[in-house]
Amino acid sequence: MSDPFDGATLRPLVPAVIGVLVRRGADFATAEDAVQEALVEAWRTFGAGSAEPPRDLKGWLVTVAWRRFLDVVRAETARQRREVAVDLEPEPGPTETADDTLRVFFLCAHPALSPTSAVALTLRAVAGLTTRQVAEAYLVPEATMAQRISRAKRTVSGESFDRPGDLATVRRVLYLVFNEGYTGDVDLAAEAIRLTRQLAALAGPDGPDPETDGLLALMLLHHARRPARRRDDGTIVPLAEQDRGLWDTALIEEGVRVLQAALARQRRGEYQLQAAIAALHADAPSAAETDWVQVVQWYDELLALTGSPVVRLNRAVAVGEADGPGAGLAALAEVDPALPRHRAAAAYLHERAGDLATAARLYAEAAELATNLPERTHLTREAARLNRAAR
């Protein structure tokens, strides 16, 4: 019996699969690219006897190709929205008084819920994130997060919503909403900044809250880099390769000013420390001129405060920049390898150490685990670049 994935068998299917995608509304060029990706996926999944091929190979190819096409459409839509989103960008300076949106965030952060459950419920019910997006933010399976959200709904179903939740929970919600917007939807990022401005304006009896100001500074400093983070085709531009002339200096200046005022109150918290790291990146004329030693010092303080595995991962990369890739790999050895982006970090450090073959393999593995198309494309290109260099 011949291999079902040899060229003679596959070639006749290609025009038919492209035709199906075109009839569904795809343009021919994009449909052709999507089918080529589906063929690669077919070979990876079923080729060389690695798994039993589907009986309806054409139907399988149509399904996979259509998903690839939708990924491309989503990426293109996001790019177009970024181009027309100038009016939505947050302007420096004060904002209007708090509106009902912020109040709803407080009400959903109900005292009857644990902070984790309150954040998850608010992200799903108010911010509009999908269960998958919330699960990825918490590094748990989607099914686990779905159960957590369902339990939270049952918990508050008989409760009165006249008791608002605490400030820390609302801050966490806004932080995660911004993170989701920062990697994709500019509307979400701008809305998170707008609401955080309002939250920062609600000074308590002890004056402005330094951690809320730290959160606002963090958002502003990250959002300032947004114009340089993507190429025209939607692919990711790493921080070291970004055109810093595209960064929004007004947002950077405001972020640094807000951060300095927050740190001066001598009540450091997680968001202030993250913002301090972002400020060092914003201040450096280039990646090579970044004060990596001070970055590591801030990460040390942040790790001591939070114990976060993500912080530990980011710290390992910073150690690699400050003390060399060997030191970075030693620090990375203390991080759970199952953590998202662990392989990407390991690939980067191995590349800096000159081990291109290992780095290429790790980039390819990281691409397989990526949860969105721009990240997967970036990592795949990095693997291909190093494979060419290693020949």
- What pLDDT score does 154 carry? 75
- The pLDDT of residue 199: 86
For residue 281, the model assigns a pLDDT of 95
The pLDDT value recorded for residue 208 is 80
The pLDDT, as a whole number, for residue 247 is 94
Cβ distance 262 to 201 under 8 Å? no
Predicted pLDDT at 84: 42
Note the pTM of the prediction, 2 decimals: 0.67
Per-residue pLDDT at 151: 76
In order along the chain (391 residues), what is the average pLDDT of each group of 10 residues? Answer: 54 82 76 82 70 78 84 65 45 50 67 72 68 70 79 68 68 81 65 86 75 95 91 83 93 94 92 96 92 96 95 97 96 93 96 94 91 83 87 69
What per-residue confidence (pLDDT) applies to 24?
Answer: 74
* Measured distance CA(194)–CA(188) in Å, rounded: 10
